[in-house]
Each structure stands twice: as structure tokens, then as C-alpha cells.
Structure 1
Amino acid sequence: MSEVISDSVVERVVSLPLVSSTYGLMSSVYSNTKDNHPYLRTVCEAAEQGVKTITTVALNTASPILGKLEPQIAIANDLACKGLDRIEKTLPILHQPSEQTIQKCKVL
């Protein structure tokens, strides 16, 4: 019996070179900003704590519901993956790291 493994559309989007490299770049800028600006660090850390708290509450609240909606979520994920397939074919730039995209824009 072979198991069918379904890709998660979120995992696929995050693994696109343009998305992952842009995330890395923005994460670096964010960290450097926090390190170099003490007042912004305080604000950022407060915002981060707020997001963690909200996420924990949301996950605890949504978990029972998500279990019941698993078949519908799987269908939505499958449709989203098919849509992403079309977008990836239409926009090959998604398969390039952000640095390469920036360089090409500078040339134009």
C-alpha cells in the first residue's frame, strides 16, 4: 500500500527561492535594526511577544476545529497547489533568489 503525500501550499511557497531569499534578507535587516536601535528593539520585542501570545491562543482555540475540517482543508490545499503550479509556470522569477532579481532590475 503506497501512501499519497500531499504537498502543503505554504511549504511550497516558503521554499520558492524568491520568497526564501527575500525572507532571509528581511530577517537580517530586522535583526540589524533591533541590534542598532535600542528604542526600536523595545517596540519590536513587545510586538513579538504579542504575536506569540496571540498565536498560542489561536492555535489552542482552532485545533479542535481544524481536526473536523481536515478533509475540506486538504481539498483547499490541493486546489491552491494547482493554482501555484500555474503561477510558477507564468512567473519564472519566483525560482530566482531576490539578489538576482534585484540585479536584473538594476540593469533595466
Structure 2
Amino acid sequence: MASVAVDTQPSVVTRVVNLPLVSSTYDLVSSVYISTKDQYPCLKSVCEMAEKGVKTITSVAVTSALPIIQKLEPQIAVANTYACKGLDRIEEKLPILNQPTNQVSLAEY
């Protein structure tokens, strides 16, 4: 039986999201957003309507794009490989990306 090679390389998007600077910044912004919504009831209802709209639009967009994405899977895999190599170089040149926001001192950069 022939074995199929499986690309176990994480997507560049996953790698970027998991960078300590990116993930800790997301956590910080998310926390501020949630606390702001909780403090202002009128703003909360507007934000919740916007969130619902974004979820609906995203769902429709993903459903519509899925056939195209499946057809382009080989090209996307190649692009992901190049993007990951580029991210490796960026991480080498910008070590700040591997530090959470609370450890970043802009004076160093």
C-alpha cells in the first residue's frame, strides 16, 4: 500500500496568531473591548448587532469560498510554505515578536 505524504507544517496564519506579541496583544484588546461593552449598555447593543452581522457575513463568505479554496489547495500549500519561510526570517530579524506585550520595551527597538 502506498503512503501519502501529509504536510504537517502549520499554516502561516496559525503561526502568526501564536506569536507571543500577537496573542498577548489580542488578549489585551479583547479584554478592553469586553470591559467597554460592559460599562456602556448602548454601546453593548450596537457592538452585539455588529458582531452578529460579522458572524453571518463570515459564514456566508466561507461557504461561498470553500469550493474555490478546495480547487486551489495545492497552490495555497505552496504559498503557505513560502510565507512560513518569510515568517522565519521576520522572526529572526524581529525578536520582539516572541515577547508578550508586558515584556516589550520600545526603548530597545
Q: What TM-score, normalized to structure 1? A: 0.91
Any gaps of 5 or more consecutive residues in structure 2? none
1:23 pairs with one of 23, 26, 44: 26
Unpaired runs of 5+ in structure 1?
A: none
Identity of aligned residues (%): 61
Number of equivalences = 106
CA drift at 1:39 = 1.2
Q: What is the aligned counterpart of 1:92 among 70, 95, 104?
A: 95
**1:73 aligned counterpart, secondary structure:** helix
Rounded Cα–Cα distance in structure 2 between residues aligned with 1:106 and 1:83:
26
| Number of the residue aligned with 2:15 | 12
Cα separation, partners in 2 of 1:82 and 1:107, compared to 1, 3 Å: closer
Q: Quick one: which amino acid aligns to residue 43 of structure 2? A: L
Question: Counterpart amino acid of 1:25?
Answer: L
Alignment of 1:20-99 (within 5 A): 20-99=23-102
The CA RMSD measured in Å over matched residues stands at 1.8
Matched residue type, 2:69: L
Question: If each structure's helix is expressed as a fraction of its own residues, which one has the higher value?
Answer: 1
Could you tell me how far 1:3 is from its partner in structure 2?
3.9
AA of the residue aligned to 2:91: E
SS at match of 1:29: helix
Give every structure 1 segment of 4 or more consecutive aligned residues whose post-TM-superposition deviation is greater than 4 Å. Answer: none
